[in-house]
Amino acid sequence: MLKSLTRNDWLLLIGFTAVVLLSPWTLEPFGAAYPDILQKFAIFGIFAIGFNILFGLTGYLSFGHAAFIGVGSYVSVWCFKLLTMNVVPALMLSVIVAGLFALIIGYISLRRSGIYFSILTLAFAQMSYNLAYSVLTPITNGETGLQVRAIRSSPDMPLLDGDIRVIDQALGIQEVGIPFTNLFGLRMSGYEGFYFCAVILIICFFLAMCITKSNFGTMLKAIKSNQNRLNYTGIHTRPYLIAAFVISGMYAGLAGSLMAITDPIAGAERMQWTASGEVVLMTILGGAGTLIGPVLGAGMIKFAEQKVSSWNTGILNDVFSFVPDTLRPIVVDISSLFVGEGWHMTLGLMFMLIVIFLPGGLMQGINRITERMNSTKPAARASDAGSPAAAAGKE
């Protein structure tokens, strides 16, 4: 699999690694260098990369990937409650359980294709959400959400990190707050938590690159190109699709586990259909079928959610200070519809512009700029070669 990677692929991986690890400094001028938002960039980047393995390579559009996010979160929190606050068991078990859950859903949903497949995945996601919200309340704690709490049997007993026991009022056990998740003692919060998520993002990006360049990835692209032709040649495509669906679900379960690691809580709201639609927007905005595109789309949407939603009329007045006083209130009133609680309108407008002018997403625009730059270099060299100075040099 590594032999299929070219020199450009390794350069892309090195560049991606440098950008991710240096983001606390490079994003500081944009006001996005806070650990919380950086963690979101990394986590949803993993979610989008995994979704792109299914949608970008095979063309199968799933509206149910939020279910795997929820499964990963719940499994992680239960690991913290029953086992240890060390994140390694939680990560491993979340990926395994999410993969098994994806195998069940994929085995049923992939009996159909096109819009019917999308509706089936959406139905499974909504069933999972309703089960977590009501029927499975003893496991998920319903609308309140599942939380990790550290407790001790007496106020005088010192609390050890990761000391989790079942609350029993008859024994006089008392709550003492929420413990922190850790990686062999290293606290998974702040910039430490971001770099932990960033390293996993880089690993996931590398694995996605290997999958894309492998024979398996080539088969997935062939399915997207013309699945019927493959079936006519005698190739059974369903096992490849199930494998892609399971891998994609494991990526989503990993992202859900990281959400619980950085914020030890799991709620049913993470399994809503809007979360599944969000990852679709991320992938399309960035560029479906590309490696970098889904990560760019995830970063753009999360940045807009964090920043544009926090803008108010006071900030808008400062932004439009150059507008004449008579027109400024009108401009501010119109612009206020697209910020704050109305930030989704900005997202919708941005999505419309990209889909209309860049159907291939942001990566299509980047490729166009790169192609134009490369095309101007030979022209410049040709003009230099035909100049009088160059002719004199040849003589």
pLDDT in tens, 200-223: 999 999 999 999 999 999 999 999
**Strand, coil or helix: 33:** coil
Residues 256-315: tens digit of each pLDDT: 999 999 888 888 888 888 888 888 988 988 888 888 989 998 888 888 888 888 777 778
Residues 261, 181 contacting (CB under 8 angstroms) = yes
Name the least confident of 6-15, 39-48, 308-317, 350-359.
308-317
The average confidence (pLDDT) of the chain is 82
> Average pLDDT for residues 71-82, to the nearest whole number?
90
Residues 182, 23 contacting (CB under 8 angstroms) = no
Matching residue, tokens 């400062």 = 318
- Compute the distance between CA of residue 134 and CA of residue 332 in angstroms, rounded to an integer: 44
Residues 320-354: tens digit of each pLDDT: 888 787 888 888 888 888 887 788 888 888 888 88
Label residue 285 exposed, middle or buried (CB < 10 Å: 0-12, 13-18, 19+): buried
Beta bridge partners, 265, equal 147
Does 172 score more than 60 pLDDT? no
* pTM, to two decimals: 0.85
* Cβ neighbours of residue 229 closer than 8 Å, sequence gap 6 or more: none
Q: Return the number of other C-beta atoms located less than 10 Å from residue 72's C-beta.
A: 34
* Cβ neighbours of residue 110 closer than 8 Å, sequence gap 6 or more: 60, 117, 238, 241, 242, 245
As a residue count, the chain comes to: 395
- Compute the distance between CA of residue 270 and CA of residue 84 in angstroms, rounded to an integer: 23
Q: What angle do CA 130, 131, 137 make, to 5 degrees?
A: 115
Domains, in order of start, for the chain: 2-288 (1.10.3470), 311-382 (no CATH)
